[in-house]
Structure 1
Amino acid sequence: MKRLDLAELLALAAVWGASFLFMRLGAAEFGPVALAAVRVVGASLFLMPVLAMRGEWPALRRHWKSIFFVGLTNSAIPFLCFSYAALSITAGLSSIFNATTPLWGALIAWLWLKDKLTPWRVLGLVIGFAGVLGLAWEKASFKPGAEAVGFAVLACLAAPLLYGFSASFTKKRLTGVPPMALAAGSQLSSAIALVLPGVWLWPAQAPSAGAWAAAVGLALLCTGVAYIMYFRLIANVGPANAISVTFLVPAFAVLWGALFLHEAITPAMVLGCSVILAGTALATGVLKPRVPAAAAAAK
């Protein structure tokens, strides 16, 4: 990976890490539905002209039904889940649960697309989901008066599950479709789905300038610009290298939360994140343990 590509990878991780900060800053005043609506409407307004300039409108028109479905499962509903979670749990914790996306993706691809799982990848899934279970068990509570945190954790697990499903659906139904048609089309679909609920549930009290800045940052920087950066990285360094951004996002999200919101970094979060990322690295093949020569020869 060239230095320029590495710098862009780090910048993308910082931007996506900031999305959890912005949701924490905007969710309380906008509410989860209105915030998600502003995010996808703004992102679609940013990305659709880019799609037009690239001449990829025909691809969007040909595959609009499948792209609309991906918009719901890969943007609209996950964005709602994370915006809801931002009302109750920290930006860092949300980002750690989001880092389980490759785990869900590998599991669903195995169940649905019959992708092969090596013993190391199976071990990675076991380790990764053990970390998820441990962290969720430590943080979630459904005791009277504390149900909001429990439901926030469930929302943070539902979102990456949907991301994982969307990856397999895209591979099965939308292979070969230009990435920008998928990116712009999914945001437009999400905007169509959320604009009326967002208007209906618009906050009675006008959001502050700070909340609006967070919402605009979510829409333009963390969604619109981030999509362009991500797909450019895929083109320049390949999907396997580009997906490594997943491992960096929690670090930036925890950092931004600590710096700007004074969120605590607990030992349980550090341990849970480490276990989840180690399992994810094995499950996705990013980490490939070396087999001793004698063992390999015995096989």
Structure 2
Amino acid sequence: MGVLALLWGSSFLWIKLALGGLPPAWIAAVRCALGAAVVLGLCAWGRRRLPSTWRAWGHVAVAALFGCALPFLLFAVGEQTVDSGVAGVLNATTPLFALVIGVALGTDRRLSPVRLGGLLLGFAGVVLIFAPWHAAGLASWGALAILTAAASYAVGYAYIGRTLANRGTDPIALSAAQLTTATAMGALTLPFSDTGAIALDPVVLLAIGVLGVLGTGVAFAINLRLITDEGATQATTVGYLLPVVSVLLGALFLHEPLTTRVVAGMLVVLLGVGMTRVVPRRPAPAAPAPELAKA
């Protein structure tokens, strides 16, 4: 989860930089293609097999739509008008959407007051870090696009947990199938994009390269493993760690100030994530009563 938060924590920065020379549809399609190349290479290296039935590929297509193609496009569209602070807060609603979906579908049977409190506390910490009431763009179409992307992620998590995870296919192979399908979906949108807005330079190429190879390919391989091991709702709590990572990176490399409010928010986030990882212990089965000696 820590590695995944590190890879995804800088995604808003890379999307912003890539928007300097690529339209949103191209950012979504190219990052899917680069990510697919990474995980397909991992499959070839580890001799992992992709899903072999049409039924499984049907499930993969739904997961690719809600977990990759749609949210990638919506985030790029949203960040054209929304600053990174607001985007971080809206993205952090994914665990809350996932909790509602998981309870409704019955896929999350480990809900407890402590975990519910952790989810709410984690979101409160994210809001405290970014203080969106000080930022512009909260009530805009861009913010609505990012909120829809966060909900789409939650649907993707829940669908994968219900139909694909722990079904005999390796998580990296599932990632390869999902990103390959999302690449095909993204390619269908390119003819409707403004190709005249493409202006490649070293910064744009670096941004889309890092976003595709690390932030998509490597990250999705880890994410599918996390869903398989921890469950869909639990895996979404990584979303609360992303703003913490982005704040720390800003302080270390961009010399951005760490205010008391930001530090307090980070501590609240970490406490909330810790609470979500508390799983109630099942009571041990009672020992059978000793049989009476036969006369």
TM over 0.5: yes
Unpaired runs of at least 5, structure 1: 1-8, 289-299
Which of 12, 15, 38 is the equivalent residue of 2:30? Answer: 38
Instruction: Please report how far the alpha carbon of residue 129 of structure 1 lies from its aligned counterpart in structure 2 after TM superposition.
Output: 6.2
Aligned residues between the structures:
272
Deviation sequence 1:107-165 (CA, Å, 0-9, x none):
11101226443333444455566678897972677xxxx68x62232222222222222
Contact kept? 2:171, 2:224, Cα under 8 Å? yes
Within a 5 Å distance, the mapping from 1:1-299 to structure 2 comes to 10-53=2-45, 54-59=47-52, 63-113=56-106, 115-116=108-109, 117-124=111-118, 127=121, 138=133, 150-175=140-165, 176=167, 177-205=169-197, 206-230=199-223, 238-239=229-230, 245-257=238-250, 281-282=274-275, 284-286=276-278
Deviation sequence 1:169-228 (CA, Å, 0-9, x none):
122222313212321111111111111312431431423221122111111111112233
Mapped partners of 1:197, 1:89: distance in 2: 22
Contact kept? 2:27, 2:208, Cα under 8 Å? yes
**Which has the higher Rg, Structure 1 or Structure 2?**
2
Report the 3-state secondary structure (helix = DSSP H, G, I; strand = E; otherwise coil) of the residue aligned with 1:30.
coil
Deviation sequence 1:235-273 (CA, Å, 0-9, x none):
8xx537976644432122234456677878788777777
Unpaired runs of at least 5, structure 2: 281-295
Report the 3-state secondary structure (helix = DSSP H, G, I; strand = E; otherwise coil) of the residue aligned with 1:159.
helix
TM-score (norm 1): 0.73
Contact kept? 1:113, 1:168, Cα under 8 Å? no
Percentage identity across paired residues of the two chains: 32
Contact kept? 1:35, 1:83, Cα under 8 Å? yes
TM-score (norm 2): 0.74
Mapped partners of 1:252, 1:115: distance in 2: 27
Change (3 A) 1:124 1:46: closer
Instruction: Please report how far the alpha carbon of residue 58 of structure 1 lies from its aligned counterpart in structure 2 after TM superposition.
Output: 4.0
Change (3 A) 1:125 1:223: closer
Tell me the C-alpha RMSD between the 2 structures: 3.6
